[in-house]
Amino acid sequence: MRLNLIHLYPDEMNLYGDYGNILSIVKRCDWRGIDVKVIKVKKGDPLDLSDADILFMGGGQDRSQQIITDDLVSKGPQIKEAVEGGLCVLTICGAYQLFGHYFRTREGEELPGISVFDAYTVGSDDRMIGNVLVDCADTLRKSGETRLTPADREHLELIGFENHGGKTYLGESVNPLGKVVYGFGNDGTKAWEGCRYKNAFGTYLHGSLLPKNPWFTDYLIVLALKHRYRKDIQLDALDDAIEYAAFNTAKKRTLTAKTTHL
């Protein structure tokens, strides 16, 4: 089996260990004999989604967001169409913001988004920084998800780190990715985190997100395989002891939330 992973703006939108997300997908496929081809699409490059299975776009600084906005908007209709067709998408932080309708900065400048997500983001004076724990069990159940393995169903939490000034508000036609257990979440109200529309996901979580949350990586892989082969494919189980040791350490750290000021 094989998958094509499109890494959008690998130079401009690449912050907070986004490389770890790509690496996590590639390795977990590789360990199961699934061949992943990573295709880097830079600003100005043509985008071909006809044979794509996963699209990834990472976070970026304000200036990076400004640099790629025009190019992203020109690719917008194509990405929207592919998402409607079931393309698996993961967007983090700055990319998540630009996949909504717009991002209005604190200064009032409006960066247009591509409206993959029915969501918009407004810059704020707050900086939402820290560890986050998100519970995805309810949101996944609500979306009628049946493809998760029993082992995966034991987890269904995401651990990560958020660092954003923008507050994201979701519209009617999208679901949050999960419920905030600890952290600020989309809009600082500590209620919901991230967003999902079909197989497209947006989240503020980095850390990197995927390595410490292997069930979610596998879930993305399953969605991508389904997209390519038009059938449900069960992944081979892996030994995730090291992954969940890191997850548990970070979770404990988050919930005790005591930073020693050494």
Partner 1 sequence: MKFIALITGKVLILFSRIFRVGGGSSFPGLVALKIDPRLIVKITRKLKNGTIVITGTNGKTTTSKHLSAILGYSGLKVVHNRTGSNLMRGIASTLIEQSTVLGRPRGNIGLFEIDEATMPDAVSNLKPKVILVTNLFRDQLDRYGELDRTAAVIAKSMEHLERATIILNADDPLVSSLAKKINNKNKVKYFGLNEDRYIAKSRASLDSKDCLICGSELVFEKRFYGHLGIYSCPKCDFKRPEVNYEAKNITLYGIKSASFSLANKTNNIDISLNLSGIFNIYNSLAAYSLARTLGIDGDTIKAALGNSSAAFGRMEKLVVDNKEIYLLLVKNPIGLTQIIETLSTDSGARNFMLILNDNFADGTDVSWIWDADVNPLNGDFNFIYTAGIRAQDMTLRLKYEDFNTSKIKTINDIEKAFGEAITNMPPGETLYVLTTYTGMLQLRNYLTRIGIVEGFWRRAPHETKSYSSLPR
Q: Which residues bind partner 1 (CB under 8 A)?
A: 11-12, 15-20, 23-24, 27, 42-43, 61-64, 67, 106, 123, 125, 127, 129-131, 161, 163, 165-166, 206-208, 211-212, 242-243, 245-246, 248-250, 253, 259-262
- Strand pairing partners for 163? 129
What CA–CA distance (Å, rounded) separates 101 from 173? 13
Residue pair 251/134 in contact (Cβ under 8 Å)? The answer is no
- Residue 56, sorted as left (phi over 0), alpha (psi -120 to 50) or beta, turns out to be beta
- 126/232 with CB nearer partner 1: 126
Q: How far is the CB of 206 from partner 1 (least distance, A)?
A: 5
Q: Is 88 a catalytic residue?
A: no
The catalytically annotated residue of 7, 155, 206, 227 is: 206
What CA–CA distance (Å, rounded) separates 256 from 259? 9
- 30/84 with CB nearer partner 1: 30
Q: Is 93 a catalytic residue?
A: yes
- 11/154 with CB nearer partner 1: 11
Q: How far is the CB of 125 from partner 1 (least distance, A)?
A: 7
- 199/208 with CB nearer partner 1: 208
Q: Nearest to residue 108, comparing CAs of 119, 93, 124? A: 124
In a 10 Å sphere around its CB, with 0-12 CB exposed, 13-18 middle and 19+ buried, how is residue 78 labelled? middle
- Looking at the annotation, which residues are catalytic? 93, 206
